[in-house]
Amino acid sequence: MIYIRADMNAQIATGHLMRCLSIADALRGLGEPVRFILADEQAVSLLKQRGYDAIVLHTQWNHMDEELPVLSQVIRNEHIDKLLIDSYQVTQRYLAELSKLVTTVYMDDLNLFEYPVDAVICYANYWKKFQYKINDKRTTYLLGMKYVPLKQAFWNCEAKIISEKADNLLVLTGGSDPLNVTEQILDSIDTYQFQTIDVICGIYNTNYNKFVKKYENNKNIKLHQAVSNIEQYMKKADIAISAGGTTLYELCAIGTPAISFSFADNQLDNVRQFQEDGLIDYAGDARMDDIAGTINQYLTSYRNEFELRKEKSEKMQKMVDGKGAIHLAEALLKI
C-alpha cells in the first residue's frame, strides 16, 4: 500500500489533493491500494466519494514540523514503507525525519530547497530552470510533462480533429477571476464571429450572476459555472482562451489550440514556457498588459489559419499524452 500525505482547505484550495487523487486512481488501476493522510477532516468526504480511506492527524496543516511525532507514530502503527508528500508547507527537517522512517517521494514545483527524499516529482514544463542534481544517484527524479497527473478523463484522448472553420470558442478564467478578465475578453471581441462561446466561470467567481444578466441577449454566449466535465467543452472548442495553470496541460492533452494569459506570479513560468516551446501563445499579464487586444490579434490568426491550428494541436498532444498519472504510478511502484 502507498500512503499519500496531502491537504485541502479554503486557503490552499483543491489542487494538491486533486492531482494526488489522479495518481491514486492510476495506482488503484494497477492493483495497488492507496490511503491518504490528512491534517484535518476537511477532505475526508471527498475522499470517501472517490473510494479512499484517510487517516486524520488532527494537526495544523500549515505547521507540518509539529505533526512529526504524530505522523511518525502512524508510520509505525500502519507499517508504512512508502509515502508520497504533496504540500508547500514542508521543511527540510520534516522531509529528512520522514526519510529516516520510510521511502519518501515529494511532489515539487517550487524548488524551495534541496529535498532530502528518495524521489522528486516535478512535472512543470519549466522544470529545467530548477537545475536539479539529476546525476545524484541517491534521489530519483521524475521530471517533465510526461508526468502531468491529469484526471482520468484525459488519459485516453484521441487525436484532435481540426475543423476548417473555427466556430467554437472556449473561455476559461480560473477559479475566481479577481481582475474580471472574463468581461474584458467578452467585451473586446466580436462575439458573433463564433457560433458558440462557452465561458467557464470558477466557483469563486462573484460576477457570474452579473454576466448571466449582462449577456442574456447574446445567444451565442453560453455561461457555465464550476463544471465537472471540463474535458467535454475542451473537445468541442476550436480555440480556447485560458489562464495559466493545470488547465493548459489539459488543453494540450485534448489538443485544443489555445491562447493563454496570466494574472498571478505563480503562473508566469508556466505560460512563458508554453510559448517558448511553441505550444500555446501568451497574451500577457492581466495586471499590466492589454491582454484583450493581444488576444484579439491571436484569435484573428487562429481563425484564419487552419494549418496553424493543426500544427499547434499536434504538437500539444505530442508533448502531453494525458497519461502522466499512469506514468507516475508505474514509477512509484518501482522506487
DSSP state of 57: -
Q: Which of 211, 207, 221, 205 has its CA nearest to residue 170?
A: 221
15 Cβ contact partners less than 8 Å away, ≥ 6 residues apart:
246
Model confidence at 196, pLDDT cuts 50, 70, 90, reads: very high
* Mean pLDDT, residues 205-234 taken together: 92
The Cα 189–Cα 293 span in angstroms is 9
Question: Looking at residue 311, what is its pLDDT?
Answer: 98
Residue 256 has pLDDT above 80, yes or no: yes
Q: Is 231 annotated as a binding residue?
A: no
Question: Looking at residue 9, what is its pLDDT?
Answer: 86
Give 236-278 as a DSSP string: H-SEEEEESSHHHHHHHHHT--EEEEESSGGGHHHHHHHHHTT
- Model confidence pLDDT, tens digit, residues 112-136: 999 999 999 999 999 999 999 998 8
Model confidence at 31, pLDDT cuts 50, 70, 90, reads: very high
Question: Looking at residue 129, what is its pLDDT?
Answer: 95
Among 16, 58, 79, 327, the active-site one is 16
Mean pLDDT computed over every residue of the chain: 95
Q: Which of 282, 275, 270, 278 has its CA nearest to residue 311?
A: 278
- Around Cβ 167, how many Cβ atoms within 10 Å? 16
Cell of 57: 492527524
Residue 10 has pLDDT above 80, yes or no: no
Cell of 144: 517533465
Model confidence at 176, pLDDT cuts 50, 70, 90, reads: confident
The residue extents of the domains of the chain are: 2-150+322-334, 157-319
Model confidence at 204, pLDDT cuts 50, 70, 90, reads: confident
* Mean pLDDT, residues 41-48 taken together: 95
Q: Which of 3, 18, 14, 104 has its CA nearest to residue 54?
A: 3
* Mean pLDDT, residues 267-273 taken together: 95
Question: Looking at residue 14, what is its pLDDT?
Answer: 83
Kindly report the CATH number that applies to the domain delimited by 157-319: 3.40.50.2000
In contact, 171 and 247? CB cutoff 8 Å = no
| Residue with grid cell 500500500, as numbered in its chain | 1
| pLDDT cut 70: percent of the chain above it | 100
- Model confidence pLDDT, tens digit, residues 75-104: 999 999 999 999 999 999 999 999 999 999
183 Cβ contact partners less than 8 Å away, ≥ 6 residues apart:
207, 211, 214
The Cα 182–Cα 292 span in angstroms is 10
Question: Does the annotation count 16 as an active-site position?
Answer: yes
| Residue with grid cell 539529476, as numbered in its chain | 134
Same fold for the domain at 2-150+322-334 and the one at 157-319?
yes
Model confidence at 232, pLDDT cuts 50, 70, 90, reads: very high
Question: Looking at residue 203, what is its pLDDT?
Answer: 81
- Assigned fold of 2-150+322-334: Rossmann fold (3.40.50)
